[in-house]
Structure formats: structure tokens, C-alpha cells
């Protein structure tokens, strides 16, 4: 493929395997390695490797996406999972091997693109090359006799080529004065912009990962949210986030609107249809509050952070009284959703009841039914027939040993499950408004009413905009790199008979022979059309009739590959 090598002439790429230096010492080896790394073939292999290595991350659950599924995988494959883990198969995209490949690729890219940029900048300042002696050898060649003088032809040609955005240079020669023209440097500019923008995207992603943060919080309807790390359920800062001071906005979740497909015949029964959260936002302490609605696909943007409506669920309002009837717990209690019908689980921890620590573990069903396995499960996500089941634990909640605990889980390692005489766990069943006695004189629990909660994700990424800008620059550069044709075109105007075509004494002495030759320097299917158009434009400027098209050619495909290198002058060494 001579042509394509010529096209990326600035890259000094070894055509075939570059023999390793023998006895060149360390420096020689370093040079050789660098040349290998920045070669086109290495870039190609690394690209293919990157594609292959990205696959396993879609086959195995990834910690960065879903820790729960990773844990489930460990349970289901207790022998295999630790081995996979050793190979980083649950963290593919931050694994040493994946990182190594993309970092090598980007080093190769920079090592390849910087020298090309230098060469390209020099090229931009260079005049188009001299006109070849025999234009008829070029892939496209037109010749025409006109009455105008060579000088006038050249003037016209100069104007035409400027109009068509060619850079030009004039040359004198035995065949007459000529104009050399070149265009399409934008192609290489675009290619360089594309590759450099990819580096920009990578840097923006890294900056966002290091200085950004992500947090999750559950907010019951009616409750306020103040942006502060102490209020968050999860807090996941980038490695270089210093301190935990977040922009101090706050909002109140006024209402949550939820709807589901309730058409039993639709095949989509129970599918979510719309979620939205009405909030009252205070951007900074002291600001006037404003009303904002957060929807899926419509985050709240406040003080550089974004708040997303990531989920929703039920928060039964529960009151627990101790043996003396005094309330020891009373609040909306968020239950975490487990399936698409909102079967939910939650816990209540009562550390200071006079009768010792009590833990309640519950399953909440918005529409009570029995699952296929005979266990309680919800049959519809909306609250049509809400039922809460609770089991009761006593003992040590483990809150005092200083280890932070998940508020949605009960650590039962130091607790006992209360059972009936024959060993069956005591299970309380409650509907809204109902109360039940806890066994063993522990008190009572009341299901006062049913609220909903919203799950919000709070996110800040300082380089989001930069990533977008670099991506768009990359696409723009890529488009130029693929579609701007690089062409050279020469036009010579000589007195008829001066020797360019034929040798016999000219019948039309005093006339001028106009010759156009064109050469494609990239994939170019429009070269023949360009040669015709340039000639036609020059003739039009000279008020000459257009050159007749004797045999209309199909200008479908014009390609450089069919022309051996030696037919192209000026295309020698890179």
C-alpha cells in the first residue's frame, strides 16, 4: 500500500519489522523501543487489545457499578470468585492490565502525534512543489487550447485557485509559466486535533474522577435535605477531594409523584410511567427559596452540584412504645426496594428501651400477595394493599463499639430472634393504622401511616464540561480528517508548439496551450471532477467557451491506489 504510506508521510513508520539493534547499548534499545511503541502497527495492536480487554467487564459484575451483584456472584461461585478477583475481573476498568494498555496507547499516541504536529506546522509554511515536466503523467490531466495569452491564463488561474482555497506558487519552466497549487492541509490538522482531543478527554475523565464526588441520600417526603456529608447515606469522594465541605444548598422534598402502568392487559402491568419530586430549593443560606421539580432525566442543578432522582420507595411511619407505653421511636422509616413490585426491606433499631436493645426487621409489601416460593411478595408497585411484616430481635445492636453501621441492616450476630414456644419466629403483621404487642412485654409497635421517600444522587464533576468540549473537538477533527481531500493541482500555460504535447508545427500559432494536472494525496473520489471544474472556471474567466465533454466520464471513483508511486512526481521522500 504505497499510497497510504505516502499519505501519512510525516510518520517515520518502519515499513516492515524493524530489526532490533545489535550491540547498540542502552540508548539504542531505548530508541528502538520508543520507535516501536510509537509506530502505527503498535497503535493498531494496542487498539485491538483495548477492545478485547474491555469485554470481560461486561461479562462479570463490576464493583464500580453494582457491589450487590458482585457479592451475589461471590455467594454463587465461592470457589471461582476469589480467583477472578485476583485477576481484577470485578474491577476491569481500573485493573492494572486494562490501565496499562490504555496508558501505553496514549503514550504511543502522544509520541506519534507530537512529531507529526511539528512536521505539519513546517509543511503549512512550505510552498507547493514545483510543477512536474510532464503533467500528462498525473492521474488526472486536461489540456485545452485558448486564444488568451499565457499571462492572462495564469492570472485567471491564480484567481480561481484562491477562490477554491488552494495555496499557490508560481514557477517558470521550459513549457511555459505555471501555477502549483495545494489544498487540504485541514485534513492533517483535523487528524492531529482528533488525536490530541482524545488525550484531552482522557485528562478530563481523570480530573473528574480525582476531584469530583458522588453521594446518595434518602429523603422522606416532607423532610429537608441539607447538602452536608453528615446527612448522606453514601459518600464517595474522588481521591483528591480535600475536606468534606460541600456547597451549602438545601431543599425540602414537598411531594413525590409516582405512577405505574395499571392496565393488566398491556403486558407492561406495573411498569413505571412517571416519577417526579417537587422541591423547594435554597441555593445558599439566606437566599430566597424557589420551587423546583426534579424528574428522571431532569436533575436539579444547584451551586455546581447536580441532584438526580435516582429512586423512590416507601417509608412507613412507625411508632414503638416500651413496656410502659412511652414512645421510644417514632418516624418515617425508609424501606429499601428489592424488586420491581417494590417488595421492600427495612429495620428499626431501638437502643434505649428500658427493657434492653430491640431490633425489628421488616418486609413491606405495597400490594400484599404471596410469591411463587410461598413467601410474602408484592404484586404491584403502588400501595393498594400495604402490609408490613416484622420479626423481633433482642440483645446487642452493636451500636456502641464505634464501627459505623448500615442503618438499613441489622447486625444480628449478638442478638436473638424471638420465637414462639415451638421455635417458629414471631412474625407481626400490620396494616396502616394497626398496632401490635411485641412479645415478652417489650412494648408495642404502631403502623401510623404510609409515606414515600425519594432516593437522590448528589454529584459534582469539575471536568464534565471539558470532557464534552474535547469530545466534540475530536468529532470535528475526525470529520475533517476523513472528508477533506488533500490535493495538488498544477496549471501550465505555454505557447502552442512549445513542446508539451505533440511535436509537429502548430496549426494555431499564437495560441496558448493550457494544461491541468491533478494528484490526490488522500482517499479522494472527486479528483476528476475537480480537474474539470478548475479548467471550466479558468475558461469562464477568460471568456472562452467551455471545453466540450467528448465522452462523459463517470466520476464515481478516483483513487490513488491505482497509480504506482513513480508516476507521481514530487512524492518522493517523506
Partner 1 sequence: MSVDTTLASTSNSLVYSAMAVYAVALGASAFDLATLGEKVGARRRASARSAAPRQELASQAGGVGTITVGRTTAPTGPAPLAEDGAPRRAAGIATSLTVLALLLHLGGVVTRGLSAHRAPWGNMYEFSVTGTAVVVLVYLGVLARRDIRWLSTFVLAPVLLSLGLAVAVLYTDSAPLVPALQSFWLIIHVSIAFVSSALFVLAFSTTVLQLVQERREVQRAQGRPTGAGRFMEALPASADLERLSYRLIAISFPLWAFTLVAGAIWAEVAWGRYWNWDPKEVWTFIIWVVYAAYLHARATGGWGGRRAAYLSIAGFACLMVNYGVVNVFFPGNHSYSGLS
Q: What sections of 277-369 are H helices per DSSP?
A: none
Grid coordinates of 428: 407481626
Q: Kindly tell me which of 279 and 481 has the beta carbon lying closer to ligand HEM.
A: 481
Least separation in angstroms between CB 181 and ligand HEM = 22
Q: Kindly tell me which of 130 and 295 has the beta carbon lying closer to partner 1.
A: 295
Q: Kindly tell me which of 136 and 330 has the beta carbon lying closer to partner 1.
A: 136
Sole residue written with cell 539493534: 21
For position 547 contacting partner 1 by CB under 8 A, the verdict is: yes
For position 86 contacting partner 1 by CB under 8 A, the verdict is: no
For position 197 contacting ligand HEM by CB under 6 A, the verdict is: no
Window 260-319: residues binding partner 1 (CB under 8 A):
261, 263, 266-268, 271-275, 295-299, 306, 308, 310
DSSP for 241-276, please give it: --S------EEEEEEEEEEE---TTSS-TT-EEEEE
Q: Kindly tell me which of 40 and 466 has the beta carbon lying closer to ligand HEM.
A: 40
Q: What sections of 21-93 are H helices per DSSP?
A: 25-37, 40-54, 56-59, 67-76, 80-86
Q: From CA 61, how far away is CA 90, in angstroms rounded?
A: 6
Residues 394 and 379 sit within 8 Å (Cβ to Cβ): no
Among 40, 317, 369, 417, binds ligand HEM (CB under 6 A): 40
For position 89 contacting partner 1 by CB under 8 A, the verdict is: no
Among 70, 81, 89, 105, binds ligand HEM (CB under 6 A): 105
Among 277, 467, 491, 493, binds partner 1 (CB under 8 A): 467
DSSP letter, residue 38: T
Q: Kindly tell me which of 216 and 444 has the beta carbon lying closer to partner 1.
A: 216
Window 419-448: residues binding partner 1 (CB under 8 A):
none
Least separation in angstroms between CB 403 and partner 1 = 29
**Binder of residue 62, out of ligand HEM, partner 1, none (CB less than 5 to 8 A by kind):** partner 1
For position 28 contacting partner 1 by CB under 8 A, the verdict is: no
Ramachandran angles phi, psi of 208, nearest 5°: -60, -35
Residues 514 and 535 sit within 8 Å (Cβ to Cβ): yes
Residues 240 and 211 sit within 8 Å (Cβ to Cβ): yes
Contact code string over 354-373 relative to partner 1, x by CB under 8 A: --------------------
Least separation in angstroms between CB 56 and ligand HEM = 20
**Binder of residue 109, out of ligand HEM, partner 1, none (CB less than 5 to 8 A by kind):** ligand HEM
**Binder of residue 556, out of ligand HEM, partner 1, none (CB less than 5 to 8 A by kind):** partner 1
Residues 193 and 471 sit within 8 Å (Cβ to Cβ): no
Among 20, 30, 47, 124, binds partner 1 (CB under 8 A): 47
Q: From CA 170, how far away is CA 553, in angstroms rounded?
A: 30
For position 8 contacting ligand HEM by CB under 6 A, the verdict is: yes
- Closest-CA residue to 485 (of 92, 52, 188): 188
Residues whose CB is less than 8 angstroms from the CB of residue 391 and which lie 6 or more positions away in sequence, other chains included: 360, 361, 362, 417, 418, 425, 426, 427, 428
For position 523 contacting partner 1 by CB under 8 A, the verdict is: yes
Among 81, 146, 207, 246, binds partner 1 (CB under 8 A): 146
Q: What angle do CA 102, 104, 109 make, to 5 degrees?
A: 95
Among 70, 92, 112, 318, binds ligand HEM (CB under 6 A): 112
- Report helix, strand or coil for 349: strand
Q: From CA 561, how far away is CA 527, in angstroms rounded?
A: 13
For position 11 contacting ligand HEM by CB under 6 A, the verdict is: yes
Window 465-524: residues binding ligand HEM (CB under 6 A):
478, 481-482
Least separation in angstroms between CB 122 and ligand HEM = 17
Q: From CA 131, how far away is CA 518, in angstroms rounded?
A: 11
Sole residue written with cell 474491555: 54
Q: Which stretch binds ligand HEM (CB under 6 A): 32-40, 84-92, 134-142, 350-358?
A: 32-40
Residues 500 and 135 sit within 8 Å (Cβ to Cβ): yes
Least separation in angstroms between CB 50 and ligand HEM = 8
Q: Kindly tell me which of 43 and 180 has the beta carbon lying closer to ligand HEM.
A: 43
Number of residues that bind ligand HEM (CB under 6 A): 18
**Binder of residue 35, out of partner 1, ligand HEM, none (CB less than 5 to 8 A by kind):** none
Question: 300-302 and 234-237 as β-strands: parallel, antiparallel, unpaired?
Answer: unpaired
- Output the 3-class SS for 426-462: CEEEECCCCEEEEHHHCEEEEEEEEEEEEEEEEEECC
Residue 438 burial (10 A CB sphere; 0-12, 13-18, 19+) = buried
For position 551 contacting partner 1 by CB under 8 A, the verdict is: yes
Beta-bridged to residue 134, according to DSSP, are: none
Least separation in angstroms between CB 9 and partner 1 = 11
Least separation in angstroms between CB 267 and partner 1 = 5
Give me the residues that bind ligand HEM (CB under 6 A), please.
Answer: 7-8, 11, 38-40, 43, 47, 105, 108-109, 112, 191, 195, 198, 478, 481-482
Amino acid at each position: 500500500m504505497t499510497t497510504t504510506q505516502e499519505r501519512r508521510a510525516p510518520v517515520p513508520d518502519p515499513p516492515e519489522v524493524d530489526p532490533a539493534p545489535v550491540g547498540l547499548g542502552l540508548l539504542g534499545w531505548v530508541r528502538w523501543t520508543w520507535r516501536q511503541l510509537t509506530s502505527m502497527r503498535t497503535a493498531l495492536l494496542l487498539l485491538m487489545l483495548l477492545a478485547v480487554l474491555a469485554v470481560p467487564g461486561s461479562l462479570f459484575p463490576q464493583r464500580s457499578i453494582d457491589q450487590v451483584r458482585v457479592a451475589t456472584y461471590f455467594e454463587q461461585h465461592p470457589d471461582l470468585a476469589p480467583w477472578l478477583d485476583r485477576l481484577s475481573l470485578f474491577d476491569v476498568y481500573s485493573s492494572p492490565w486494562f490501565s496499562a494498555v490504555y496508558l501505553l496507547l496514549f503514550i504511543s499516541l502522544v509520541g506519534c502525534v507530537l512529531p507529526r504536529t511539528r512536521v505539519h506546522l513546517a509543511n503549512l509554511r512550505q510552498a507547493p512543489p514545483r510543477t512536474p515536466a510532464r503533467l500528462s503523467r498525473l492521474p488526472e490531466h486536461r489540456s485545452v487550447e485558448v486564444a488568451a495569452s499565457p499571462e492572462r491564463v495564469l492570472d485567471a488561474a491564480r484567481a480561481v485557485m484562491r477562490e477554491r482555497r488552494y495555496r499557490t506558487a508560481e514557477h517558470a519552466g521550459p513549457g511555459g509559466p505555471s501555477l502549483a497549487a495545494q489544498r487540504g492541509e485541514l485534513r492533517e490538522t483535523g487528524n492531529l486535533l482528533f488525536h490530541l482531543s482524545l488525550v484531552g478527554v482522557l485528562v478530563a475523565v481523570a480530573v473528574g474522577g480525582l476531584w469530583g464526588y458522588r453521594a446518595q441520600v434518602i429523603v422522606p417526603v416532607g423532610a429537608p435535605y441539607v447538602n452536608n456529608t453528615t446527612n448522606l447515606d453514601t459518600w464517595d469522594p474522588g481521591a483528591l477531594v480535600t475536606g468534606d465541605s460541600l456547597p451549602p444548598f438545601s431543599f425540602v422534598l414537598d411531594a413525590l409523584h409516582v405512577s405505574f402502568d395499571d392496565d393488566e392487559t398491556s403486558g407492561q402491568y406495573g411498569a413505571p410511567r412517571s416519577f417526579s419530586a417537587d422541591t423547594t430549593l435554597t441555593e445558599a443560606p439566606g437566599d430566597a427559596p424557589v420551587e423546583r421539580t426534579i424528574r428522571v432525566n431532569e436533575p436539579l442543578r444547584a451551586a455546581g452540584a447536580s441532584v438526580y432522582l435516582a429512586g423512590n420507595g416507601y417509608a412507613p411511619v412507625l411508632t414503638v412504645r416500651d413496656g410502659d407505653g412511652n414512645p421510644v421511636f417514632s418516624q418515617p422509616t425508609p424501606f429499601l426496594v428489592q424488586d420491581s413490585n417494590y417488595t421492600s426491606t427495612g429495620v428499626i433499631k431501638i437502643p434505649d428501651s428500658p427493657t434492653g436493645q430491640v431490633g425489628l426487621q421488616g418486609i413491606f409489601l405495597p400490594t400484599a400477595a404471596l410469591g411463587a416460593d410461598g413467601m410474602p411478595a408484592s404484586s404491584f408497585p403502588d400501595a393498594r394493599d400495604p402490609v408490613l411484616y416484622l420479626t423481633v430481635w433482642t440483645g446487642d445492636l452493636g451500636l456502641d463499639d464505634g464501627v459505623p453501621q448500615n442503618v438499613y441492616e441489622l447486625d444480628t450476630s449478638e442478638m436473638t430472634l424471638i420465637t414462639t414456644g415451638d421455635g417458629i419466629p414471631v412474625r407481626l403483621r400490620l396494616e396502616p393504622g394497626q398496632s401490635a404487642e411485641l412479645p415478652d412485654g417489650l412494648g408495642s409497635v404502631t403502623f401510623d401511616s404510609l409515606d414515600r421517600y425519594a432516593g437522590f444522587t448528589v454529584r459534582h464533576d469539575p471536568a464534565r464540561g471539558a470532557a464534552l468540549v474535547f469530545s466534540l473537538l475530536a468529532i470535528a477533527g475526525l470529520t475533517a480528517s476523513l472528508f477533506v481531500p488533500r490535493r495538488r493541482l498544477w496549471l501550465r500555460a505555454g505557447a502552442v508548439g512549445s513542446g508539451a504535447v505533440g511535436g509537429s508545427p502548430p496549426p494555431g500559432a499564437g495560441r496558448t496551450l493550457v494544461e491541468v494536472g491533478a494528484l490526490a494525496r488522500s482517499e479522494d473520489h472527486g479528483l476528476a471532477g475537480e480537474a474539470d471544474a478548475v479548467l471550466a472556471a479558468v475558461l469562464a474567466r477568460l471568456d472562452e467557451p467551455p471545453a466540450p465533454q467528448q465522452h462523459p466520464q463517470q466520476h464515481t471513483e478516483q483513487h490513488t491506489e491505482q497509480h504506482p508511486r513513480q508516476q507521481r512526481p514530487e512524492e518522493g521522500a517523506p
